[in-house]
Amino acid sequence: MPNWCANTLTLTHADPTMIVRAKESFERGELLNEFIPVPEDLKIESSPGTTSEELQAQYDANTKKHGYSTWYDFSVGQWGTKWDIGSDDGIQIWDDNEITFYFDSAWSPPIIAYETFEELGFKVYATYYESGMCYCGIYEDGHDDYYDLSDMSSQEVIDTVPQELDESFGISECMAEYEAENQDEVTAWYKDGVEETGLVPHEPPKKEKK
């Protein structure tokens, strides 16, 4: 199973029909395939009786024709994530010219797809947070503002990551809770050890009064 990356995506377009198209395809769970479709040739599934030589021949033919051997290679290369996105309950707000989605994507945000959306006339504003791999970011106007959180404390997140991004996903809050829980575990472990061994914490020698 993949790590799941949490995302918000706001699409704006001068043509209302493009917003409707985005809305309907997202509700089907096919937002990416709607605008960047996977060629049918790439949807290869091995079946009984298929030899490795036959599969390799199909891979080679696909690479020559499409630049990718399988649907997976295409998805990663043209979307930036393994699977399509969308659901019937992930739409936050929408009107004639703008719509906002919330969704999870496999391993990473679909940044490459956003670039294609912009070529299709969409204005894209997106945020993302992948807690397992410890990174987050904001994508806007063709620029990916990426933050590596792996070596940050909760306070460093507050000081470094834009407030909107931090609060949107509760990043520093979750990290602070984790830090507190681990500190409590260390403290409890230390106290238990003292009680079991009969040792007392070391104290510096007191100076004698003259």
Q: Average model confidence (pLDDT) for the chain? A: 87
Percentage of the chain beyond pLDDT 90 is 69
Higher local confidence (pLDDT), 132 or 190: 132
Of the listed ranges 69-78, 85-94, 181-190, the least confidently predicted one is: 181-190
What pLDDT, on the 0 to 100 scale, is given for residue 181?
A: 86
Query: What is each CA distance from 140 to 5, 101, 126, 136, 191, in whole angstroms?
Result: 18, 15, 7, 14, 50
Cβ atoms 85, 26 nearer than 8 A: yes
Q: Is the pLDDT of residue 208 over 60?
A: no
Strand partners, 144: 139
Higher local confidence (pLDDT), 185 or 29: 29
Which residues have a Cβ under 8 Å from the Cβ of 145 and sit 6 or more positions away? 137, 138, 139, 162
What pLDDT, on the 0 to 100 scale, is given for residue 192?
A: 56
* Residue 56: its H or E element: helix 52-66
CA–CA separation, 144 vs 138, rounded Å?
A: 6
pTM greater than 0.85 (yes/no): no
C-alpha Rg value of the chain to the nearest Å: 25
Q: Tokens 């996105």 correspond to what residue? A: 85
Cβ atoms 12, 97 nearer than 8 A: yes
Cβ atoms 30, 72 nearer than 8 A: no
Dihedral angle, C-alpha 39, 42, 48, 52, nearest 10 °: 150
CA–CA separation, 51 vs 46, rounded Å?
A: 9
- Mean predicted confidence (pLDDT) in 183-202: 51
Model confidence pLDDT, tens digit, residues 109-128:
999 999 999 999 999 999 99
- Mean predicted confidence (pLDDT) in 42-69: 83
What pLDDT, on the 0 to 100 scale, is given for residue 195?
A: 55
Q: Is the pLDDT of residue 39 over 70?
A: yes
Of the listed ranges 46-50, 104-108, 168-172, the least confidently predicted one is: 46-50
